[in-house]
Structure 1
Amino acid sequence: MTDYDVLRVFCGPKGGYGNELGVVRDGSAVPGRGERQELAAKLGFSETVFVDDPERGIIDIYTPSVRLDFAGYPCVGAGWLLDVPELVTPAGVVGVRIDGEFCWIEARPEWAPARTLRRYASAAEVEELEVPPAGTWIYAWAFEDEAAGRVRARGFPGRGDGVEEDEATGAAAIQLTHRLGRALNITQGAGSQLLTAPQPGDWVELGGRVVLER
């Protein structure tokens, strides 16, 4: 079996929760796209990252069913693990900085496929949702405290690949931040925390805590 690390990205304030991410530090051990897709499906994480150049931050990202040009939580996790100032993805160059307990990336909302951002009237409605049928990537959200920018969210990929709900979804958080034009403090899934802030030129900063699980 190929060696890989497991991180939890966007952990809560006490280090719990977070979305598990697989990182293959030696991407040359799995060189082909077909092999990478097969391993990502076998591991079953929402995303798996293959590192092709750790010093330059060149990475390749896969869900269990598709290759992605960009994804938020894999970039936060890989940026933290590699401790580099930037990551190179097929979508573009992602800025990285570590500030205390948070790792931040800077990316553009159009780099990821569009999600259906579905607003609800209350956090309770979001929490009571059942997993919808496969088909559309749905980011369900509601303000917990609109004045403070506190949001309750859940993410449903709808891909039919075994990942029915994402515990934390960075790309959707970036797109919501861009749409609302304001900084957000998002609680997603069972208790993951994502922080965002719009930047000049339609860039968005996304930050969270990362823990090395194994």
Structure 2
Amino acid sequence: MPPVTDYDVLRVFCGPHGGYGNELGVVRNGAVMPEREERQEFAAKLGFSETVFVDDPERGVIDIYTPTLRLPFAGHPCVGTAWLIDVPELVVPAGVMGARQDGEFCWIEARAEWVPPRTLRQYATAAEVDDLPVPPKGEWVYAWAWLDEAAGRVRARAFPGRDDGIDEDEATGAAALLLTDRLGRALNITQGTGSQILTAPQPEGWTEIGGRVYLER
């Protein structure tokens, strides 16, 4: 592995005032680290919930890793990278998705069948979600409750259940996509300590996921 690799750090799905959001590492020049084993090692070294390698910035071809595995699709890495390289679409192993900028929000369009299995667990109140301990390893749990059902406002927390040092994900677009697909309606999700994820069902099984992105360094 090269001793120094340039990468950007973004925060994706930030709150209304720019805080919170889930950190993301992006290696803009994926060619510096072409081998999958190198990429996995580098993602583990950075320790973010996900790290992205951009393999073709013009076509939007990207490769996504957690500290322990490669992903065919993930929400916050796709939203963050779409914002960073400003392309009309992204290409991931799961498929090709549209991307767009809309004022302070960046959006992608993806499909529920691209998302690995998740347990969507509804609670009666947001306070119950707030008070949850980290569940045992092995099950990927998206805990949620209505803040205002009529307005589509949701409180959520995400527990990946993996042995990679990340007990809770601050903001997870893929899980938000699954919840949106199940409920069949647009959602305004407050996740983690204060991140915001917006979603909207689209025709033919697509779902839009949007949020604010900030360049950390």
Alignment TM-score, normalising by the size of structure 2: 0.98
Supply the AA of the counterpart residue of 1:97. R
Q: What is the alpha-carbon distance in structure 2 between the residues aligned to residue 61 and residue 95 of structure 1?
A: 17
The residue that corresponds to 1:51 in the other structure is: 54
Give the C-alpha shift of residue 94 in structure 1.
Answer: 1.2
Q: What is the alpha-carbon distance in structure 1 between the residues aligned to residue 13 and residue 117 of structure 2?
A: 21
Indicate whether 1:15 and 2:18 are aligned.
Answer: yes
Q: What is the alpha-carbon distance in structure 2 between the residues aligned to residue 110 and residue 39 of structure 1?
A: 28
Match of 2:27 among 24, 28, 53: 24
Q: What is the alpha-carbon distance in structure 2 between the residues aligned to residue 125 and residue 31 of structure 1?
A: 45
Moved over 4 A (4+): none
Percent identity at matched positions? 78
Indicate whether 1:159 and 2:162 are aligned.
Answer: yes
The residue that corresponds to 2:8 in the other structure is: 5
Q: What is the alpha-carbon distance in structure 2 between the residues aligned to residue 34 and residue 134 of structure 1?
A: 25
Match of 1:61 among 38, 59, 64: 64
Q: What is the alpha-carbon distance in structure 2 between the residues aligned to residue 76 and residue 13 of structure 1?
A: 16
Indicate whether 1:112 and 2:121 are aligned.
Answer: no
CA RMSD of aligned residues (A): 0.4
Q: What is the alpha-carbon distance in structure 1 between the residues aligned to residue 133 and residue 22 of structure 2?
A: 19
Supply the AA of the counterpart residue of 1:34. E
Match of 2:178 among 164, 175, 178: 175
Match of 2:38 among 32, 35, 42: 35
- Secondary structure of 2:124's aligned partner: coil
Give the C-alpha shift of residue 160 in structure 1.
Answer: 1.1
Give the C-alpha shift of residue 112 in structure 1.
Answer: 1.4
The residue that corresponds to 1:135 in the other structure is: 138
- Secondary structure of 2:168's aligned partner: coil
- Secondary structure of 1:208's aligned partner: strand
- Secondary structure of 1:105's aligned partner: strand
Deviations 1:53-73 (A, max 9, x none): 111100000000000000000
Q: What is the alpha-carbon distance in structure 2 between the residues aligned to residue 76 and residue 93 of structure 1?
A: 13
Deviations 1:29-80 (A, max 9, x none): 1110000000000000000000001111000000000000000000000000
Q: What is the alpha-carbon distance in structure 1 between the residues aligned to residue 137 and residue 194 of structure 2?
A: 24
Q: What is the alpha-carbon distance in structure 1 between the residues aligned to residue 63 and residue 117 of structure 2?
A: 20
Q: What is the alpha-carbon distance in structure 1 between the residues aligned to residue 138 and residue 91 of structure 2?
A: 30
Indicate whether 1:72 and 2:75 are aligned.
Answer: yes
Gaps of 5+ in 1: none
Q: How many residues align?
A: 214
Q: What is the alpha-carbon distance in structure 1 between the residues aligned to residue 45 and residue 137 of structure 2?
A: 20
Q: What is the alpha-carbon distance in structure 2 between the residues aligned to residue 133 and residue 161 of structure 1?
A: 13
Gaps of 5+ in 2: none
Give the C-alpha shift of residue 114 in structure 1.
Answer: 1.7
Q: What is the alpha-carbon distance in structure 2 between the residues aligned to residue 64 and residue 87 of structure 1?
A: 22
Indicate whether 1:208 and 2:211 are aligned.
Answer: yes
Supply the AA of the counterpart residue of 1:16. G
Q: What is the alpha-carbon distance in structure 2 between the residues aligned to residue 192 and residue 32 of structure 1?
A: 33
Q: What is the alpha-carbon distance in structure 1 between the residues aligned to residue 33 and residue 119 of structure 2?
A: 33
